[in-house]
């Protein structure tokens, strides 16, 4: 309200002066939902009282719209905003994971007379290319034959027993892969299908190749429309050594890829390293197995990309596994005592303490922190609390990194297909059974920027996405409200 006179205590024009000092479009502070949003909810048969929403101007903090803002809701993947903002704030955008590598013996004439030890630190960026580069660095040090073993040290974290089936029973879904302190290539496979019409088959290939794992070289082409081509393949993942495809592949599908979680995640690292080392011309006389790191200086360390890049991958594409790795890494990195293995309770304690600093102890106590990804039925936070965090983030030194990590409407990430085009909205989206949500920042056509938080918790929540699109458009258009 810069430039406005002080509000008189006893003046008949006091209300008028206040209204004149407010920018146009902010006259409806906490009134009913915009007509376009209400109509979209009505068409979707989603009750209005299942939506919590906050719209605030970032510069003044004025509230333009607030409905059921203090009601705790499940935010789904929108909770990744909490995880990534806390990490950027606590660790800094340039922070990296460092994975120590140790050679336990001398190297002569291409032979390592000892073992290679990898100590996991939670790095979520060990994609196939980086695993290859790690082994290339080993060969650059003159190693072609390893007389000993490749030892995988996973002692830095202590995680409770878990399974890919725990959340929704979808064991082959890549989003259900469980975190690991030494996570290589997300413990997943990508199947590729290339139609060969002249032969009546589709060629099948897999990346990466895993030691001892077989799959069909081809599947028959089917005359049926492409449609749900994954179901038509009738895949059976139960045998980790033999992937079975009993169905066919639609002739009109074109080339397709299918990322899946490997059926035996505990053996994934060993199978990947064994196959890749052999493919690179290396020889391993021992085996890849669990081990511990000797108390000596590492031969070298492998550094991850900076945290700002990792946060971008997490938020743009809502990567659950990377968010979990970051969440657990916060617990391991910032816990008071680093001498014992870290676990989920440490991560929750760190995030709760950070929330208490940001929101106050009373507000933080109302938030239920389950994990870092939002892939949870228990997580709860209110729209008002998320809006307060986003207001603080806008004023923080890490604002550029956080905002640029969010999907841009109609441009990229989970908002690429948004009907709100032009890239004026940067929003983290979230969806689960019974949950649809979004939160972030919207640049209106008048040049004002707003914090927008919308959380729907209802059995019909999946049908509420058009209503959230309408809400974003309403904010973007700077309409004066209903």
Domains of the chain, residue spans = 20-92+312-476, 97-304
pLDDT of amino acid 170: 82
pLDDT of amino acid 482: 43
How many whole angstroms separate alpha carbon 263 and alpha carbon 288?
19
Q: Is 388 within 8 Å of 82 (Cβ atoms)? A: no
Q: What is the pLDDT along the chain (482 residues), one digit of tens a residue?
A: 344 444 444 444 443 333 333 333 333 335 689 999 999 999 999 999 999 999 999 988 899 999 999 999 999 999 999 999 999 999 999 999 999 999 999 999 999 999 999 999 999 999 999 999 999 999 999 999 999 999 999 999 999 988 877 788 788 888 889 999 999 999 999 999 999 999 999 999 999 999 999 999 999 999 989 999 999 999 999 999 999 999 999 999 999 999 999 999 999 999 999 999 999 999 999 999 999 999 999 999 999 999 999 999 999 999 999 999 999 999 999 876 667 899 999 999 999 999 999 999 999 999 999 999 999 999 999 999 999 999 999 999 999 999 999 999 999 999 999 999 789 999 999 999 999 999 999 999 999 999 999 999 999 999 999 999 999 999 999 854 44
Output 242-246 pairs: Cβ under 8 A, ≥24 positions apart.
242/213, 242/214, 242/215, 243/191, 243/206, 243/213, 243/214, 243/215, 243/216, 244/215, 244/216, 245/204, 245/215, 245/216, 245/219
Q: Is 414 within 8 Å of 427 (Cβ atoms)? A: no
pLDDT of amino acid 478: 80
Structure tokens at 348: 């929750």
Give, in words, the CATH class of 97-304: alpha beta
Q: Which fold has domain 20-92+312-476?
A: Beta-lactamase (3.40.710)
Q: Is 344 within 8 Å of 160 (Cβ atoms)? A: yes
| Positive/negative CA dihedral, 191, 194, 198, 200 | positive
Residue 478: which of 26, 17, 20 has the closest Cα? 26
Structure tokens at 290: 């669990």
């Amino acid at each position: 309200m810069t430039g406005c006179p002080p509000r008189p205590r006893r003046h008949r024009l006091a209300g008028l002066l206040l209204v004149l000092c407010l920018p146009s479009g902010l006259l409806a502070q906490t009134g009913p939902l915009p007509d376009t949003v209400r109509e979209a909810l009505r068409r979707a048969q989603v009750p209005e009282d299942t939506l919590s929403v906050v719209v605030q101007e970032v510069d003044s903090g004025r509230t333009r719209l607030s409905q059921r803002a203090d009601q705790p809701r499940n935010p789904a993947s929108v909770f990744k905003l909490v995880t990534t903002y806390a990490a950027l704030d606590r660790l800094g955008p340039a922070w990296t994971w460092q994975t120590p590598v140790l050679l336990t013996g001398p190297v002569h004439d291409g032979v390592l007379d000892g073992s290679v030890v990898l100590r996991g630190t939670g790095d979520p960026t060990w994609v196939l290319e980086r695993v290859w580069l790690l082994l290339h660095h080993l060969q650059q040090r003159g190693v072609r034959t390893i007389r000993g073993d490749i030892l995988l040290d996973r002692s830095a974290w202590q995680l409770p027993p878990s399974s890919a089936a725990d959340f929704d029973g979808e064991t082959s879904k890549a989003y259900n892969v469980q975190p690991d302190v030494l996570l290589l290539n997300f413990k997943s496979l990508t199947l590729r299908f290339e139609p060969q019409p002249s032969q009546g088959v589709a060629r099948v290939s897999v990346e990466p190749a895993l030691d001892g794992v077989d799959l069909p070289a081809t599947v028959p082409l089917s005359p049926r429309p492409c449609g749900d081509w994954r179901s038509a393949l009738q895949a059976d993942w139960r045998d980790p050594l033999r992937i079975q495809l009993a169905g066919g592949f639609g002739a009109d599908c074109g080339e397709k890829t299918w990322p899946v979680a490997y059926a035996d995640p505990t053996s994934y690292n060993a199978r990947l390293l064994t196959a890749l080392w052999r493919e690179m011309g290396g020889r391993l006389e021992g085996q890849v197995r669990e081990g511990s790191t000797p108390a000596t200086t590492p031969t070298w360390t492998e550094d991850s990309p900076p945290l700002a890049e990792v946060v971008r991958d997490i938020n743009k594409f809502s990567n659950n596994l990377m968010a979990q790795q970051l969440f657990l890494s916060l617990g391991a990195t910032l816990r008071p005592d680093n001498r014992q293995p870290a676990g989920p309770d440490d991560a929750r304690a760190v995030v709760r303490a950070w929330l208490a600093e940001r929101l106050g102890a009373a507000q933080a106590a109302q938030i239920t922190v389950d994990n870092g990804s939002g892939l949870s039925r228990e997580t709860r936070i209110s729209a008002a609390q998320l809006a307060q965090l986003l207001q603080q983030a806008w004023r923080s030194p890490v604002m550029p990194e956080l905002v640029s990590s969010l999907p841009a409407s109609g441009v990229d990430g989970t908002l690429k297909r948004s009907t709100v085009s032009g890239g004026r909205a940067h929003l983290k989206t979230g969806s689960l059974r019974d949950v649809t949500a979004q939160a972030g920042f919207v640049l209106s056509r008048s040049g004002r920027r707003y914090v927008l938080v919308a959380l729907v918790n209802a059995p019909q929540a999946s049908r509420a996405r058009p209503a959230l699109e309408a809400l974003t458009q309403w904010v973007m258009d700077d309409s004066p409200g209903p």
